[in-house]
Structure 1
Amino acid sequence: MAKPPPTGLAVPIEPLVTRVLAPNASAYTYTGTQTHIVGRDDVAVIDPGPNDAAHHDALRVAIAGRPVRAILITHHHRDHSPAARALAEATGAPIVGAAATVRGGDGEGAAVDAAFDRDYAPDRVLTDGDGVSGDGWTLTALATPGHTSQHLAFALEESKALFSGDHVMGWATSVISPPDGDMGEYLASLETLLARDDRIYYPGHGEAVERPQRLVRGMLGHRKQREGQIVRLLTAAPRTVAALVERMYVGLDPRLAGAAARSVLAHLIDLERRGVAAREEGAWRII
């Protein structure tokens, strides 16, 4: 991994795009959330990040008094959207992008809204194909549900760059956590991206993805491999989610065990929906 830039530093990464790294590195956010500023004379801000005073100040410095046409949100997890409120107050810009709704009820004891920004309230919800534009730049929303039910990516038409949020990241595969996260939707969204010809991805976490179609093909293969593991293990014997994680993720960082369990559950729910697996007395089995 290349050394990440210092937090709070405005880093130009192409003529229309500047990146500012938030100071919220963790096992789930890698080096932190990356806020992207698009435009020259007027700008859009994509995923302003956590509610952190130092990051607010860094964004104001990077914007440098330019008009902010929109604050765009790929999804309203707490590491992506909370700073939007302070930024909107400071600039007068509307908050636009993903809807605030969260799908609930998977029966596995998940805290449905634990990861979400409960105060998120967009001024305008964008759907697939909706656009936001300024002087010399156009951003088009692309529906990419899966990591969350309302996840969006944003395509910069002038340079064929895609801001992929947490759907495709530059350091790890996305966590799919039911009930709001959905494995079937996630895989379908990857297929949508595979059919596109974007030049580069700028994710919410991790380095830029310079060969995006190759990475997306690999991610699809990885998920199919995980599904195959689950089917083989359940064919041998019914198992709980915890037992599957123990067999599938040998040597896993204990801090990530919960995320692994959520993604395994997402696979199981997808298999159940397709008539391959079923729940029975606290465990899962092949039908």
Structure 2
Amino acid sequence: MADTTTPDTDDIPFNRDFPLAPGIVDEPVPGVRRIVCANPSPFTFTGTVSYIVGRGKVAIIDPGPDNEAHAQALLAAVQGEEVTHILVTHTHRDHSPNTPRIKAATGATVYAEGPHRASRPRYESEKITTESGADRDFVPDVRLADGELIHGDGWTLETVYTPGHTANHIAFAWPERKLMFIGDHVMGWSTSIVAPPDGSMVDYMASLDRLAAREEDVYFSGHGPTIPDARRFVRFLIRHRKAREASILHRLAKGEADIQTLVRAIYIGIDPRLTGAAGYSVLAHLEDLVARNVVATSGDPVIGGVYRLV
């Protein structure tokens, strides 16, 4: 799920050229097939991308949203093969709800970090609501730890814990091939949304730093095209997030401000439909800045707070 509110993206080589139509199977590299679900939106781009790993005995990564047509397309793509593994990167509703359909049809074992959870408890001052984007029904058969190896027929994937977009976000590296199924942590067409309490900017930046130190050259993302030169792209994202932080501090240097004021100052010309998402992106940065004692607020750092430099 993307943060499409980003206005200053000239420093990031985004690629929005992804013509793959829903339901069509292609094979971007040998042993990796992908199918796009017909769930386009400002946050999902052309739709959620599901991946099929291997031949004969295969794994399906991220079965997608609650969508019968997409489930049938995935099953048609593996007709005559055995699905042994279902791997889920995280539990947003555009990635995991189709899992029961695929499991019922194939009997495959479901692997993930765990059920959905927030990155932190809600503060008392926050309105108690349920995140509409969370798949709270999802429970994996096998809970994966960081660094755990998942063995299949002709492939071995490594679990890479990448919290930030969600607390339970993981990626699946194929070290032998120097590629990674990166979920929504990194996307080639847009920055990824980090919205507290579901997400955490502290965790997100730490995960980016970790990815930059790994050896994978190619990322297959949950939305949009393949990301080549992946580590360089991650460094672009790190610089961009730091620039966003600098913009927040620049505005606060002029005086205290609430999040709506910060959004107006930072996101020039933003589509009004996206101001809510922009506000939560700013909040994610502010939570980090408050924790580092760079910015202060009265009470907990929440969406309705007023912020000032320390």
TM range (shorter): over 0.9
In 2, the alpha carbon distance for the partners of 1:27 and 1:216 equals: 22
Residue among 131, 135, 144 paired with 1:117: 135
Shift of 1:109: 3.8
In 1, the alpha carbon distance for the partners of 2:274 and 2:29 equals: 33
In 2, the alpha carbon distance for the partners of 1:108 and 1:246 equals: 23
Q: Any idea what SS the aligned residue of 1:158 has? A: helix
What residue is the counterpart of 2:259 in the other structure? 241
Normalising to structure 1: TM-score of the pair? 0.96
Residue among 75, 80, 95 paired with 1:80: 95
The equivalences for 1:162-181 within 5 A come to 162-181=180-199
What residue is the counterpart of 1:100 in the other structure? 115
In 1, the alpha carbon distance for the partners of 2:257 and 2:17 equals: 40
Q: How many residues align?
A: 287
List structure 1 runs of 4+ shifted beyond 2 angstroms.
106-113, 253-256
Question: Is there any run of 5+ residues in structure 1 with no aligned partner, and where?
Answer: none
In 2, the alpha carbon distance for the partners of 1:146 and 1:46 equals: 19
When structure 1 is superposed on structure 2, of 269-278 and 151-160 the one drifting more is 151-160
Q: Any idea what SS the aligned residue of 2:207 has? A: helix
Shift of 1:260: 1.2
8 Å CA contact 1:76, 1:98 repeated in 2: no
Normalising to structure 2: TM-score of the pair? 0.89
What residue is the counterpart of 2:22 in the other structure? 7
In 2, the alpha carbon distance for the partners of 1:111 and 1:219 equals: 30
Tell me whether 1:183 sits opposite 2:206 in the alignment: no
What residue is the counterpart of 1:65 in the other structure? 80
Residue among 226, 235, 243 paired with 1:208: 226
8 Å CA contact 2:57, 2:153 repeated in 1: yes
Q: Percent identity?
A: 45
Q: Deviations over 1:191-229 (max 9, x none)?
A: 000001212000001111001111111100011001111
What residue is the counterpart of 1:151 in the other structure? 169
In 1, the alpha carbon distance for the partners of 2:271 and 2:172 equals: 32
Q: Any idea what SS the aligned residue of 2:192 has? A: coil
In 2, the alpha carbon distance for the partners of 1:141 and 1:252 equals: 37
In 2, the alpha carbon distance for the partners of 1:179 and 1:3 equals: 31
CA RMSD of aligned residues (A): 1.4
Q: Quick one: higher RCO (CA 8 Å, sep 6+), 1 or 2? A: 2
Shift of 1:255: 2.8
In 2, the alpha carbon distance for the partners of 1:46 and 1:211 equals: 22
What residue is the counterpart of 2:10 in the other structure? none
Residue among 213, 217, 223 paired with 1:195: 213
In 2, the alpha carbon distance for the partners of 1:200 and 1:253 equals: 32
Matched to 1:51, the amino acid is D
Q: Deviations over 1:49-85 (max 9, x none)?
A: 0111110110001111311121101000000000001
Q: Any idea what SS the aligned residue of 2:172 has? A: strand
Shift of 1:98: 2.5
What residue is the counterpart of 1:231 in the other structure? 249
In 2, the alpha carbon distance for the partners of 1:66 and 1:18 equals: 13
Residue among 44, 53, 77 paired with 2:59: 44
Matched to 1:284, the amino acid is Y
Shift of 1:251: 1.4
When structure 1 is superposed on structure 2, of 110-119 and 4-13 the one drifting more is 110-119
